[in-house]
């Protein structure tokens, strides 16, 4: 209730708040003239179409950040000084650029102008965002975008650019406990591994990468960063430098993968690199270190088509498959945690949840109502 309904200042404030709510609740198909006029000032795509207010552009589509340039530069510098890896910096700063673009289209040009209501509206925009493929915004993407937004508003408050942190109004969505999807069977793994033609340089390289992925459960980004000095064939191990969380660890190769790596380093890699000073264990087609996992994914999809694998397999699938197969073989979950480089055992425990096949076998054996 209003303390003094006759007070003009109080009434004026109430009208402003009501108008804000009405504007936020106006549907896309029923915009008022004021909103349409405002949209004419919005950035346009390359095809000339005007972006609706709640549209979230991709980081690459953000061309101008205007008065936010200073804050974005300082924010990126703070993350670098804090020791965040490039794999964290790129998505975080990209998400913040999307936030800034979204704010600019609402006329918000300074940190002091960011309100809790704006932050809640941004969360709605993130929730209703549709990907380039026309699918709903995945929950993990929502959490990352909102985490980036909260990190940025905390930075603005910490640096004194804002009196309060409006990002506190953002409520992080709850995540479910989803199982790793499309785990490969052992026969499917063998079909994939035996598909590359190891009589060719490219085929031998592809087979060696797949053997390493399956043997070690490495992340795709970790495979790309392996240098020849990280490989110890005598002990049959590879040192992973600055994995997730910038943590180093050693992983065993196993006899088969170690044999492929040895043959690759002796007979194949010297013919792939163009610069003798190149240190990458697995250089790309240009003979230099591969920066993005996309190139490896293209090669993997070609192999999957040839092997006739219909599952949705990506490079990370080999990580899940490695852990699942080791657990089924009787490996201690603590050892799997160390192998995968998980900081928390809870992350590794996702592999301990029984699959439906295991559950059906147990049900058949022990449930009294299985048979008539």
Structure tokens at 217: 């459960």
CATH code of the domain in which 63 resides: 1.10.150.130
Assess whether 78 and 156 both reside in one domain. Answer: yes
Residue 111: the pLDDT is 95
Residue 116's pLDDT is what?
95
Q: In three state form, how does the secondary structure of 58-80 look?
A: CHHHCCCCHHHHHHHHHHHHHHH
Q: How far apart are CA 202 and CA 177, in angstroms?
A: 39
Same domain, yes or no, for 194 and 127? no
Give the Cα separation of 302 and 307 in Å (integer): 9
Domain tally, the chain: 2
**What are the tens digits of pLDDT across the range 151-191?**
999 999 999 999 999 999 999 988 766 666 678 999 999 99
The verdict on residue 180 lying in a domain is: no
Residue 178 domain flag: no
Pair (340, 278) in one structural domain: yes
Question: Above 70 in pLDDT, residue 234?
Answer: yes
Do 155 and 272 have their domain in common? no
Residue 228 is predicted with a pLDDT of 92
Angstrom CA distances, 129 to 60, 121, 139, 201, stand at: 16, 12, 11, 44
Mean pLDDT of the chain, nearest integer? 80
Residue ending a domain, choose from 142, 169, 196 = 169
57 part of a folded domain:
yes
Are both 162 and 244 inside the same structural domain?
A: no
Catalogue the active-site residues: 219, 244, 316, 319, 342, 351
In a domain, 35, yes or no: no
Query: Of 108, 36, 97, 37, nearest to 72 (Cα)?
Result: 97
Do 298 and 227 share a domain, yes or no?
yes
Give a yes or no: residue 7 inside a domain.
no
Each residue of 206-217: pLDDT tens digit? 999 999 999 999
The pLDDT tens digits of the residues spanning 91-107 come to 999 999 999 999 998 89
* 321-363 confidence digits (pLDDT tens): 998 898 888 888 888 888 888 877 777 777 666 555 566 666 6
- What's 276's domain CATH number? 1.10.443.10
**Encoded tokens for 147:** 């985490």
Based on the domain organization, do 198 and 99 belong to the same domain?
no
Work out the angle between the directed axes of helices 333-340 and 315-328 (0-180°, nearest 10): 160
Q: In this structure, is residue 15 part of a structural domain?
A: no
Q: Are residues 159 and 237 in the same domain?
A: no
Domain boundary among 138, 169, 200: 169
Number of Cβ within a 10 Å radius of residue 159: 13
Domain end marker among 121, 137, 169: 169
Give the Cβ contact number of residue 253 at 10 Å: 22
How far is 362 from 127, CA to CA, in rounded Å? 40
For residue 205 the two structure tokens come to 């390289």
pLDDT digits (tens, 9 = 90+) for 70-90: 999 999 999 999 988 777 888
Same domain, 228 and 96: no
Q: Is residue 29 part of a domain?
A: no
Both tokens assigned to 189: 């793994």
- Residue 238 φ/ψ, nearest 5 degrees: -130, 135
Same structural domain for residues 155 and 236? Answer: no
What tokens does 363 get?
């049900």
How close are the terminal C-alpha atoms of the chain, in Å?
A: 67
352 and 214 together in one domain: yes
164 and 199 assigned to the same domain: no
Q: Is residue 5 part of a domain?
A: no
Domain that holds residue 319: 186-361
């Amino acid at each position: 209730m209003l303390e003094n309904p006759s007070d003009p200042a109080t009434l004026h404030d109430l009208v402003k708040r009501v108008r804000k709510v009405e504007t936020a609740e106006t549907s896309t198909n029923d915009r008022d003239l004021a909103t349409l006029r405002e949209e004419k000032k919005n950035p346009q795509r390359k095809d000339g179409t005007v972006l609706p207010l709640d549209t979230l552009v991709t980081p690459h589509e953000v061309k101008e950040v205007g008065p936010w340039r200073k804050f974005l530069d300082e924010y990126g510098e703070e993350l670098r000084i804090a020791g965040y890896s490039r794999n964290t910096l790129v998505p975080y700063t990209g998400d913040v650029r999307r936030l800034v673009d979204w704010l600019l289209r609402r006329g918000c040009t300074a940190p002091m102008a960011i309100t809790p209501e704006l932050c809640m509206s941004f969360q709605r925009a993130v929730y209703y965002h549709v990907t380039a493929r026309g699918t709903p915004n995945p929950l993990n993407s929502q959490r990352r975008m909102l985490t980036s937004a909260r990190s940025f508003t905390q930075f603005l408050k910490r640096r004194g650019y804002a009196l309060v942190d409006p990002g506190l109004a953002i409520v992080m969505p709850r995540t479910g406990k989803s199982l790793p999807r499309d785990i490969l069977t052992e026969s499917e793994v063998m079909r994939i591994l035996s598909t590359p033609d190891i009589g060719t340089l490219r085929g031998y390289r592809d087979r060696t990468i797949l053997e390493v992925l399956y043997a070690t459960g490495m992340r795709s980004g970790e495979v790309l960063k392996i240098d020849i000095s990280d490989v110890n064939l005598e002990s049959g191990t590879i040192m992973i430098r600055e994995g997730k969380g910038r943590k180093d660890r050693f992983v065993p190769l196993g006899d088969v993968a170690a044999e492929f790596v040895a043959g690759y380093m002796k007979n194949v890699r010297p013919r792939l690199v163009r610069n003798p000073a190149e240190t990458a264990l697995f250089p790309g087609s240009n003979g230099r270190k591969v920066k993005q996992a996309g190139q490896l994914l293209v090669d993997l999809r070609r192999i999957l088509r040839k092997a006739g694998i219909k599952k949705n397999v990506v490079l990370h699938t080999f990580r899940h498959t490695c852990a699942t197969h080791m657990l089924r073989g009787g490996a201690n979950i603590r050892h799997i945690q160390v192998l995968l480089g998980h900081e928390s055992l809870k992350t590794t425990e996702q592999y301990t949840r029984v699959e439906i096949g295991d559950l059906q076998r147990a049900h058949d054996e022990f449930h009294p109502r299985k048979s008539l």
